[in-house]
Amino acid sequence: MSPGLDAARPDAGAAGQDEAEAARQLRDKIAAQFGRSLHIRTLDTGSCAVCEQEIRLLSAPHYDLHRLGFFLTPAPRHADLLLVTGPMVRAFEVAARKAYEAMPGPKVVVATGACALGGVYQPDPFVHGQVGAVLPVDVWIPGCPPSPLALLHGLSVAVGRLAEKTPGLTFVADGDGGGA
Amino acid sequence: MPLWFARGLRRGVVTTRYPARPDGSAASLPTPPAFRPRKLTRELVDRMIAVCPGPALRRRDDMLIFDAGACTACGRCAQAAPLAVRPSGEFELATTTRSALVKTIPILGDMR
């Protein structure tokens, strides 16, 4: 288990302790089961297709995600991980739920790109604005689009091979003090 | 190809992990901004919030609240305030906690 996934959740209060512990145990289980091979189903919920472009590049020789034991599969029945892009258009809600329910457990949902994280569209009659409104998201990968490197890092975080860096970042420029 | 095959046979490993080595293309990726608190003023931050196309920037009194998850790294805030903002260079931002992407940055420019 990577140290990053064990890091205390900053948003979890005393009441959330049991839940955080349960989440940690589930992640341990997922890391044990998906440690060597993981099948990914991509799901476009209304993205502009640039995230798909970057996902497609993962199979290219330069990034070569197959070397890490990750495989893209066309069927949710064969998938361990749902890589969701787009702002979750309301017309796609039923299909998204069906794809999620068709996957065998344990399963991981990864929200990919700024749209999926709620950074581009606000909720309105046409879009939910973020994937989390419909599916239980386990890992968030920011970026517009997330580069293939960011996606590889995100997938590695999802299976517990790499530690996440985000909790340690401040987005304060070096040499300016100020703290954060 | 024969070279790779021979190398694989010699080392017993034919694949590499991620990251195998620093990637040269990473330096040219657009990345979310990093802020300089001493150069930030309330007025400047409000101007940055106005040019931000998404909900990535917010202000609560003397705090700039930056949601790196909502940031598209468009660079408009850096254009509006070139002295206070520069690219952070961070792109491996995947997290298992959504709130970990929301950062609070103090606004210290008004204090002098």
**Can you tell me the distance from the alpha carbon of A163 to that of A161, in angstroms, rounded to the nearest whole number?**
7
Q: C-alpha angle with apex A156: A153 to A161, nearest 5 degrees? A: 125
**B93 in a domain, yes or no?**
yes
**Beta partners for B33?**
B87
* Mean pLDDT of the A15-34 span: 72
What domains can be seen in chain A, in order of their start residue?
36-162 (3.40.50.12280)
For residue A102, which phi and psi values (nearest 5 degrees)?
Answer: -75, -20
User: For residue B61, is it within any domain?
Assistant: yes
At residue B3, the pLDDT reads: 83
* B92 inside 8 A of chain A by CB: yes
> Could you list the residue range(s) of the whole structural domain that residue B89 is in?
29-111
pTM of this structure: 0.83
Run of H or E residues at B80:
helix B76-80
Cα Dmax for chain B: 66
Per-residue exposure over B17-52, b if at least 16 CB sit within 10 Å of its own CB, e if not:
ebeeeebeeeeebebbbbbbbbbbbeebbeebbeeb
Asked, for residue B21, whether it belongs to a domain, the answer is no
Enumerate residues 6+ apart whose C-beta is below 8 A from B90: A165, A169, A171, B31, B32, B34
Structurally, chain B folds into a number of domains equal to: 1
**Residue A12 pLDDT > 60:** no
Give the pLDDT confidence of A41-81 residue by residue, as tens digits. Answer: 999 999 999 999 999 999 998 888 888 889 999 999 999 99
Which pLDDT score is estimated for A71? Answer: 93
pLDDT 10s digits, A81-125: 999 999 999 999 999 999 999 999 788 999 999 999 999 999 999
Chain A residue with Cα closest to B31: A143
Residue numbers in A near B95 (CB within 8 A):
139-140, 157, 164, 166-167
Instruction: For residue B80, tell me if it sits in a domain.
Output: yes
User: Mind telling me how many Å the CA of A5 is from chain B's nearest CA?
Assistant: 7
Task: Give strand ranges (E) for chain B.
Answer: 33-35, 57-60, 63-67, 85-87, 102-106
Instruction: For residue B44, tell me if it sits in a domain.
Output: yes
A167: chain B residues, CB-CB within 8 Å: 95, 97, 100
Q: How far apart are CA A41 and CA A70, in angstroms?
A: 11
Domain-located, residue B12:
no
144-163 in chain A: CB under 8 A from chain B: 144, 146-147, 149-150, 152-154, 156-158, 162
| Secondary element (H or E) of residue A84 | strand A81-85
- Residue B8 within a domain: no
The residues, any chain, with a CB within 8 Å of residue B89's CB and separated by 6 or more, are B27, B31, B34
- B87: helix, strand or coil: strand
Distance from CA of A118 to the nearest CA of B (A): 6
Taking contacts as CB-CB distances below 8 angstroms, the residues of chain A near B26 are 147, 149
Q: In this structure, is residue B7 part of a structural domain? A: no
CA-nearest residue of chain B to A161?
Answer: B18
Give the domain CATH number at B93: 3.30.70.3270
Whether B28 and chain A come into contact, CB under 8 Å, resolves to: no
